[in-house]
Chain A
Amino acid sequence: MSVLDSPSNNGCNSIYIHVPFCEKKCTYCDFYSIENTEHIDAFVGDVIAEIALRLQNITQPVQPSTIFFGGGTPTLLTANHIERILHALPTPLANAEITMEANPGTISPEKLSEYRSLGVNRLSIGVQSFNPSELEFLTRIHSREQAIDAVHHARKAGFDNVNIDVMFALPSQTAASLSATLQQVLALGTEHVSAYSLIYEHGTPLFRQMKRGLVIPTPEDVDAELYELVISTLTSAGYRQYEVSNFAHPDKECRHNLAYWHARDHLSVGPSAHGLLNGERYWNHRSLSSWQRLVRMGTLPQANTETLDERETMNEFVFLTLRSDGIPVDQVHRRFGFDVRTALGARLADWIQDDLIADSNGVLRLTSHGYAVCDELTVHVLEACDQAWESSRAGTQTNITATE
C-alpha cells in the first residue's frame, strides 16, 4: 500500500515500452502496430537510444518499480531483445513488477522460461475468448487450445502472476458463451483478469464494418447484462474489481496500470507511447519511421506535449481514481484543497442510496452498478469538483489579500 500511496511528484517509478509489431493486426485493435516484423532488431536499438535520450532529459530520479512491455505483440521480441532493453533501464527496485503482454500464438515454453529468467515476473495473456467462433470473429491468430496451453506454459516457466484478457459484448456472443469463457478463466485460476466490453474504435476495420452495417453492435441492455455476468462471476470467485475492466486476487492488482490511474509519473518509450512527467504529458509519433528518424537524430521523438494546469490535473486524478479503486478523499483534500464529500453534497447520498457509490475507509468507490454507469457519474462528479475547487481557490485568494 505504501508504494501505491507515494506522491507522484518526487520521482518516476513506472516505465512503459511499446512494441509496435504484430504477426497479424486484429480488426478491433487501435493500438499502433505494423505487420512487418523485419525491423525488430533495429527497433530494439532505437528503443535503447530513446531510453538514453529520455534519461538525459529527465529532471527527477527514475527508480522503476513497474516496467511494462505492451504492444503490439511484445512476445515477438526475443529474450535477448528484452535483456538489452532491461539493461538500458535504471536498475529496478527489488520488488518491481515487470510485465509482458503475450499473444498465445507467439510463445513457447522455452521462450517464457527465458523471459522469466531475465526478471519478467508478470505475464498478461491476450486470450479474448475461449470460444472458437468468437476468436475467429476477432481475427485472433491463436486457437482456444493454444490459449489454454499458454497459461500452463507460463506456470511451468515460473510465472505466479498471470493475467488473462477477455472480451465481451461481441456481436454473436450469448450469455452462455461468455459464461463458458469465464468458467475456463476460473478453471485456469490466473491471478488477474481484464474483461473489456468491445469498443468500436474509430479507424479500425471493425468500425468500418459497423458503419457499413456488416456488424451490429450489442444493444446497451445486453451489454449491461453481460457486464453484470462478468462482475458477478469473477467477484464471487474471489477476484476483486479494482477498475472498470480489471479484476485481481488480493494484492495482485496490476501496479503498473494503477500508476496510470493514480495519475503518477511514467516514462514511456516507443512509437505512439504516452508518458507523464512532472505534470507534462508527451506522446511519441505514431509511426515507426518518424519515431525512428527522430531518435536517430538524437531528438525526443514526441509528436506533442500538453501541460496540465491544476484544474486539469485535479480532473484527471478524480476521474481516473473514480473509475479504478476509488477517490481517496483525504488525498484530494491535501492536493487540491477541497472536500469531495462536501462538493457532492446531497448527490452523494442519492448515489449511495442508489447503490452506485460506496463510502468506506476514506475512499469513494464505485459499486458494481456504479462501474456500469461510470462515465455518466464522472461528468456529475467533476462538475461538482470544479465548483468546489474554484471556490476553494477563491477562498485562498481572499485569505491572501486579507493577510496583505
Chain B
Amino acid sequence: MQHFRNFCIIAHIDHGKSTLADRLLERTGRVSAREMTYNQILDDNPLEQERGITIKLHAIQMDYVAKDGQNYKLNLIDTPGHVDFSYEVSRSLSACEGALLVVDATQGVEAQTISNLFMAIDQGLEIIPVINKIDLPAAVTTIETVKQQVMDLIGCKEEDMILASAKSGIGIDEILEAVIQRVPPPTGDPNKPLRALIYDSIFDSYRGVVVNVRVFDGVMKEKDKIRFMNTGYEYELDEVGVLFMSRQRTKVLEAGNVGYFTAAIRRLQDTKVGDTVTHANAPCDESIAGFREVKPMVFSGIYPADSDDFEDLREALGKLTLNDAAITYEPETSSALGFGFRCGFLGLLHMEIVQERLEREFNQTIVTTVPNVRYRVITTKDEELWVDNPSQLPNPTLIADIQEPYIRAQIISPTEYTGAIMKLCIERRGTMVGQSYLSADRVDMTFELPLAEVVFDFYDKLKSNTRGYASLDYEYSDYKSGQLVRMDILLNGEPVDALSSIVHRQKAHEWGKKLCAKLKELIPRQMFEVAIQAAIGSKIIARESISAIRKNVLAKCYGGDISRKRKLIEKQKEGKKRMKQVGRVEIPQEAFLAVLSID
C-alpha cells in the first residue's frame, strides 16, 4: 500500500488539465507518443472533446519508477469539469489523497477551480500547486501575480509551486516526484471488512454496468458476494481489475487501490455514485460518508418533432439512461405538443448534453420546451406539492405559498467588471452575500440567486458583460418563498400549455411584453389574424397581433410551372409537418424556446 498514490487534477477549463494528463501517461509509458495522435485521451466522448469538458469520469493507473529507485502505482482519477456535476467531483475527490492544482500562468485562478480546491482541502487532500503554460510569452508579465494568488489561496510557499508547461513537457518529472513525495500513501486495512466507494459507473453493452471504485478497507475478489449499502442491492462479482488505458483484469483489488468491477448489473441506477460497496456476508459497520441521492434541478419537456415518433423517443430515453443515471423522465401530455416526456437534469449543461445525445446518438428530432426549476407549493389546505411543469401550477386561489430553489453563486472576475456583475445579479433578483479580493485586480463575489433566474442565459450574459473574463461556480442552497405567478400565453384565446412559465410578479409585465413580441417574430402569418396574449390568471398583461396573409399565390401556372409548383408544395408540406397546432394556429418549433432568445 506504501507504493500506491491516488490523486486527481483540479483545473479550470483550458488551463491544461487534459494535456497534463496526457503528458503524465506518456512519461510513465502508459501511452506511447505515437498513440497520442488523438490528443487528450481522457476525454473520449466526442461531445466532451468538442466542448472541452469532461462529463464521464475516468481513472488510469500508471507505473512509475521514482528517483528513489522504487516502483510506484499512480492512480490518476479524472474529475468532471462542470458545475452541474459537482457532486460527482466531490465523490471522485474522496477517492484520492492528493490533488494537482493546475493554474494557467497567464489567466490566474477561476471560480470553478476555487470551489473544487476548497472541496479538496475540506476532504484533507494534499494539494500540489502547478503553474502551467509558463512558456507562453504573456506569462512573463502575469506569472508573479498568479503565483501570489495561489500562495494567498492555499497558503503555500513559493518553492512548493511547480512551474510547468504540459504542452512542451516542462516540469513533468517534478510533478511525478512531488506526487510520490508529498501525496500520502493510502491508509486502510486489508484485513478489515470490505469498504469501497463508488465514484463512477458506466454501462457496457456486453458486461452490464462497470463500476469504478476506490477500496478503502478489505479486499475485493471475483465471485465475492457484495452489497451496495445505501440501495441494499446484492450481486456476485464477475470481474475485478484496474484501469490502464483499458480495463486490466486482476481478479483482486486490495485496500488503497482504485479499479473496477462488473457483476451482471443491468441498471445503471442501481450503482449510485457515492454508495459504499461491502461484502454481503461480512459487511463493514459504517458506509462512507457523503452519499446523497442526486436530484434533478432543471426540467424541460422533450417531445418528438413528429408525434408518430413518441415510442422511438421513449426507447431512446431508456437507452440513454443506461449510461446517464442522472436523467429522469416521465410521460406527459401537452395540448400543444402532444405526447412527450418531462425530463429532469442536473443543470443546464446536462440538459444540453442529453438533448444533443438524443439527436446525435439516437437520431431523434425533438422539440424541447423552455427549462424551468422545480417549485415547492404549499396549498391553502397546507399540502405540499412539487411542481416541475409550470402549466401544472394550481389555481392561485389554492396557493398559500410558492417557494423556489436558490443557489449560492461564486463569481471571480477582474475588478473592472464589478459594476456590470452587480447589475446583472440584481436584475436577476440576486443579493450579494460576500466579496473579497484575490489580488489588487481580481475580485471574488458571492451572490444568492434564484436558480430560475440562472437557468436561461445567465452564464452567457455574465460572459458577455465581462468580455469573457468572469468565471462562475455555484452550489444549490435552499428553497425560499417568492412572489411568483404563472404567466400563460394565449393564441387566439386558447392557452398554449407548453409556453406557460412561472415568473416573479414584478417582472411579469415586462416579460410578457417581450415574450409576445418574440412570438410575433417567430410565428409565421396565417390566413387569419392571430392574437398573442400574455395572461396572469384571467388578466391580460400584454398582447400583440399577427396580421393575416393577404396574398400568397403564384400568378401563372403553365407547362413547366406545374411540376415546379408540385415540388415546392412537397417541401412546404414537410415544413408544415414540423409545425405544432394550437386551435387553428400553426406554431413552429422554435417558438417553444422563444423565451431563451429574449434579451
The interface of chain A, by Cβ under 8 A from chain B, is 16, 196-199, 220-221, 223-224, 227, 244-245, 257, 260-261, 268, 272-274, 281, 283, 306, 312, 315-316, 319-320, 323, 347, 350, 354, 356, 371-380, 382-383, 386
Could you tell me the distance in whole angstroms from the C-beta of A244 to the nearest C-beta in chain B?
A: 5
Question: Please, how many angstroms separate the alpha-carbon atoms of A223 and B549 in the complex?
Answer: 12
| B440 lies within 8 A of chain A by Cβ | no
A268-B559, A323-B557 given; A372·B551 CB < 8 A = yes
B282 cross-chain contacts in A, Cβ below 8 A = none
Say yes or no: A371 contacts B558, CB within 8 Å: no
Does residue B433 face the partner (Cβ distance < 8 Å to A)? no
- Contacting A383 at CB < 8 Å: which of B550, B551, B565, B573? B573
Residue of chain B at shortest CB distance from A168: B555
Asked if B573 contacts A199 (CB within 8 A), the reply is no
Q: Are A350 and B584 in contact (CB under 8 A)?
A: yes
Give the residues in chain A near B551, CB-CB below 8 Å: 197, 220, 223-224, 227, 372-373
Alpha-carbon distance between A379 and B527 when the two chains are bound, in angstroms: 12
Interface centre among B549, B551, B563, B572 (most CB of A within 10 A): B551
Q: Which residues of A contact B553 (CB under 8 A)?
A: 197, 244, 323, 371-375
- When A320-B562, A372-B550, A382-B569 are in contact, do A196 and B555 touch as well, CB less than 8 Å? yes
B566 at the interface (CB under 8 A from A): yes
Minimal beta-carbon separation of B57 from chain A (angstroms)? 49
Q: Which residues of B contact A244 (CB under 8 A)?
A: 553-555, 557
Ordered by A's residue number, 11 sampled pairs between the chains whose C-beta atoms are within 8 Å are: A220-B550, A244-B557, A260-B557, A260-B562, A306-B563, A319-B566, A323-B553, A373-B552, A376-B526, A379-B569, A382-B573
Q: Are B555 and A356 in contact (CB under 8 A)?
A: no
A373 near B572 with CB under 8 A, answer: no
Query: A-facing mask of B172-207, CB < 8 A → 1, else 0?
Result: 000000000000000000000000000000000000
A354 in contact with B528 (CB, 8 Å): yes
The reply to whether B559 and A273 contact each other, CB–CB distance below 8 Å, is yes
Cβ–Cβ contact B573 & A379, under 8 A: yes
Chain B 525-561, CB-CB to A under 8 Å as 1, else 0, gives 0111000000000000000000001111111111110
Q: Given the interface contacts A197-B555, A323-B557, A375-B552, does A316 sit within 8 Å of B562 by beta carbon?
A: yes
User: Do B557 and A377 have beta carbons less than 8 Å apart?
Assistant: no
A378 to B572, CA, bound (A): 10
Inter-chain contact A354/B527, CB cutoff 8 Å: yes
Give complex CA distance A375, B527 in Å: 11
Contacts of A223 in B (CB 8 A): 550-551
Residues of A within 8 A of B570 (CB): 315
Q: Tell me if B576 is interfacial: C-beta within 8 Å of chain A.
A: yes
Q: Which residues on B sit within 8 Å (CB–CB) of A383? A: 573, 576-577
Residue of B nearest to A263 (CB): B562
The distance from the CB of A232 to the nearest CB of chain B, in whole angstroms, is: 15
B550 engages A283 (CB within 8 Å): no
Cα(A268)–Cα(B526), bound, Å? 38
Q: Residue B527 contacts which of A199, A274, A377 (CB distance < 8 angstroms)?
A: A377
**B window 212-226: CB within 8 A of A:** none
What A residues does B549 contact at CB under 8 A? Answer: 220, 373, 376
In the complex, which residues of chain B have a beta carbon less than 8 angstroms from the beta carbon of A274?
Answer: 559-560, 562-563
CA distance A242 to B556 in the complex (A): 13
B7 to chain A, nearest CB (A): 62
Cα distance, A199 to B562, chains bound together (Å): 15
Distance in Å: Cβ of B526 to nearest Cβ of chain A: 8
Instruction: Give B586 Cβ to nearest chain A Cβ, in Å.
Output: 9
In the assembled complex, how far is the CB of residue B278 from the closest CB belonging to chain A, in whole angstroms?
A: 59
B residues near A221, Cβ cutoff 8 Å: 550
Question: Which A residue's beta carbon lies closest to that of B528?
Answer: A354
- On whether the beta carbons of B556 and A196 are closer than 8 Å, the reply is yes
Task: List 13 additional contacts besides A273-B559, A323-B553; criterion CB under 8 Å.
Answer: A196-B555, A197-B555, A199-B554, A223-B551, A224-B551, A245-B556, A281-B563, A315-B569, A316-B562, A354-B528, A371-B553, A373-B551, A374-B552
Closest A residue to B571 using CB positions = A379
Q: How many angstroms from the CA of A272 to the CA of B560 in the assembled complex?
A: 8
Min distance, Cβ A173 to any Cβ of chain B, angstroms? 14
- When A and B form their complex, which 7 residue pairs have the shortest distance between CB atoms, in order from nearest? A224-B550, A274-B559, A224-B551, A374-B553, A196-B555, A197-B555, A379-B572
Residues of chain A lying within 8 A (CB to CB) of residue B550: 220-221, 223-224, 372-373
List of A residues within 8 angstroms of B552 by Cβ: 372-376
The residue that A375 contacts in the complex, of B554, B556, B577, B584, with Cβ under 8 A, is B554
A104: min CB distance to chain B, Å:
20
Q: Which residues of A contact B565 (CB under 8 A)?
A: 319
**In the bound complex, how far is the Cα of B550 from the Cα of A227, in angstroms?**
10
Residue of A nearest to B553 (CB): A374
A246 to chain B, nearest CB (A): 10
**Known contacts A375-B552, A383-B576; A283/B560 CB under 8 A:** yes
Q: Collect the chain B residues with CB atoms within 8 Å of residue A312's CB.
A: 566
Of chain B, the residue at the smallest CB distance from A378 is: B569
**A377 CB contacts on chain B under 8 angstroms:** 527
Q: Which residues of B contact A268 (CB under 8 A)?
A: 559
B555 CB to nearest A CB, Å? 4
Residues of B near A224 (CB, < 8 A) are: 550-551
Inter-chain CA distance A128–B251, complex, in Å, is 91
Q: Give the distance in Å from the alpha carbon of A354 to the alpha carbon of B526 in the complex.
A: 13
- Bound: A315/B568 CA distance, A: 12
> In the assembled complex, which residues on chain A have CB atoms less than 8 Å from the CB atom of B584?
347, 350
Measured between beta carbons, the chain A residues less than 8 angstroms from B559 are 16, 260, 268, 272-274, 283
Nearest CB of chain A from residue B568's CB, rounded to whole Å? 9
Q: B558 and A260: CB pair below 8 A? A: yes
Closest Cβ neighbor of A246 among chain B residues = B556
Q: Are A257 and B572 in contact, with the CB atoms below 8 A?
A: no
Let me know if B557 and A261 touch, CB within 8 A: yes
**Nearest CB of chain A from residue B193's CB, rounded to whole Å:** 65
Q: Which residues of chain A come closer than 8 Å to B555, judged between CB atoms?
A: 196-199, 244-245
Bound-state Cα–Cα, A257 to B572, Å: 26
Bound form: Cα–Cα A54–B552 in Å: 38
Q: Which residues of A are found within 8 Å of B576, using beta-carbon distances? A: 379-380, 383
Tell me the minimal C-beta distance from B567 to chain A in angstroms.
10
| Chain B residues whose C-beta falls within 8 Å of the C-beta of A378 in the assembled complex | 569
Q: In angstroms, how far is the closest chain B Cβ from the Cβ of A356?
A: 7
Most buried by B among A227, A376, A383: A376
Q: Which residues of B sit under 8 angstroms from A199, Cβ to Cβ? A: 554-556
Measured CA separation A220–B528 after assembly (Å):
15
Bound-state Cα–Cα, A349 to B551, Å? 21
Chain B residues, CB < 8 A from A320: 557, 562
- Cross-chain contact B554 with A386 (CB below 8 angstroms): no
**Measured CA separation A186–B577 after assembly (Å):** 45
Nearest A residue to B558, CB-CB: A260
Chain A residues lying within 8 Å of B557, measured Cβ to Cβ, are 244, 260-261, 320, 323
Residues 25-49 of chain B, each 1 if its beta carbon lies under 8 Å from chain A, else 0: 0000000000000000000000000
Counting chain B CB atoms within 10 Å of each CB, which of A257, A306, A383 scores highest? A383
Q: Considering the chains assembled together, what is the distance between the CA atoms of A312 and B559 in angstroms?
A: 16
B80 shortest CB reach to chain A, Å: 46
- Who on chain B is nearest to A225 by CB? B550
In Å, the complex CA distance between A224 and B552 comes to: 9
- Collect the chain B residues with CB atoms within 8 Å of residue A220's CB: 549-551
- CA–CA, A306 to B570, complex, Å? 16
For A323, list chain B residues within 8 Å (CB): 553, 557
Give the distance to chain A from B232, nearest Cβ to Cβ, in Å.
Answer: 51
> How many Å from the CB of B178 to the closest CB on chain A?
67
Bound CA span A268–B558, Å: 12
Q: Within 8 Å CB of A347, what residues of B? A: 584
Q: Give bound CA distance, A268 to B577, whole Å.
A: 36
Residue of A nearest to B559 (CB): A274
CB distance from B530 to the nearest CB of A (A): 13
How many angstroms between the C-alpha atoms of A347 and B573 in the bound complex?
Answer: 16
